């Protein structure tokens, strides 16, 4: 029987893969517990898509799946590639739920920036978040850890 896993944005567990070369480490006890239990699958879709660390800030153009950098470059291909590579790894690893970094153009769930680089938020999700959700993986934002833990305890942690 295959053990179920939890995908997590790599920057949330301290990997320095953020666009500016830093991390977004959460330092939450439940994340540490899952880490010690070996059920976490950390990955960074933007790095998997071929982008470097550091890299220019990027945003999804409102209402589309086009992604642009602050420098004007179109990085839609890299974001799409990273999202599908993330899904491939998730399926290979038996991932049933994901915990993703808020407001990222890849990982953000429900709220992201609008593509104008003016800190304007819109109701939408990042490219990888959408691809994971479309494949049936339950996605939780980093601010929904209690919900994520309840889901894991109810449905997630039994072997596949
Ligand atoms: Fe973190 Fe996701 Fe951005 Fe990678 S793409 S740095 S995992 S928020």
Distance CA 135, CA 87 (A): 8
Question: What is the per-residue pLDDT across 65-75, written as a single tens digit (0 to 9) for each?
Answer: 999 999 999 99
Tell me whether residue 149 is in a domain. Answer: yes
Tell me whether residue 14 is in a domain. Answer: no
Residues 68, 92: contact at Cβ < 8 Å? Answer: no
Question: What is the per-residue pLDDT across 72-112, written as a single tens digit (0 to 9) for each?
Answer: 999 999 999 999 999 999 999 999 999 999 999 999 999 99
- What lines the ligand 1 site, CB under 6 Å? 9-11, 17-18, 44-46, 101, 104, 106-107
Tell me whether residue 24 is in a domain. Answer: no
Task: Report the candidate in 79, 80, 88, 126 with the shortest Cα–Cα distance to residue 107.
Answer: 126
Tally of domains in the chain: 1
| pTM for the full predicted model | 0.96
Tell me whether residue 146 is in a domain. Answer: yes
Please check the confidence at residue 141 and state whether its pLDDT lies above 60. Answer: yes
Structural domain for 126, as ranges? 44-155
Most informative mutation of 8, 45, 52, 111 for ligand 1 (most atoms within 8 A of CB):
45
Most informative mutation of 57, 69, 101, 128 for ligand 1 (most atoms within 8 A of CB):
101
Tell me whether residue 74 is in a domain. Answer: yes
Tell me whether residue 12 is in a domain. Answer: no
Rounded to an integer, the average pLDDT of 23-44 is 96
Tell me whether residue 3 is in a domain. Answer: no
The minimum-distance atom of ligand 1 relative to the CA of 43 is: 7
């Amino acid at each position: 029987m295959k053990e179920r896993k939890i995908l997590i944005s790599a920057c949330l567990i301290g990997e320095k893969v953020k666009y500016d070369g830093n991390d977004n480490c959460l330092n939450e006890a439940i994340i540490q517990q899952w880490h010690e239990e070996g059920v976490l699958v950390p990955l960074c879709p933007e790095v998997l898509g071929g982008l470097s660390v550091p890299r220019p800030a990027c945003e999804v153009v409102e209402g589309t799946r086009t992604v642009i950098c602050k420098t004007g470059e179109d990085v839609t291909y890299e974001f799409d590639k990273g999202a599908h590579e993330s899904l491939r790894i998730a399926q290979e690893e038996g991932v049933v739920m994901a915990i993703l970094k808020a407001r990222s153009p890849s990982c953000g769930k429900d709220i992201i920036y609008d593509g104008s680089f003016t800190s304007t938020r819109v109701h939408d999700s990042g490219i990888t978040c959408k691809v994971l959700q479309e494949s049936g993986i339950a996605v939780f934002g980093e601010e929904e850890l209690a919900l994520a833990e309840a889901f894991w305890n109810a449905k997630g942690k039994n072997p596949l």
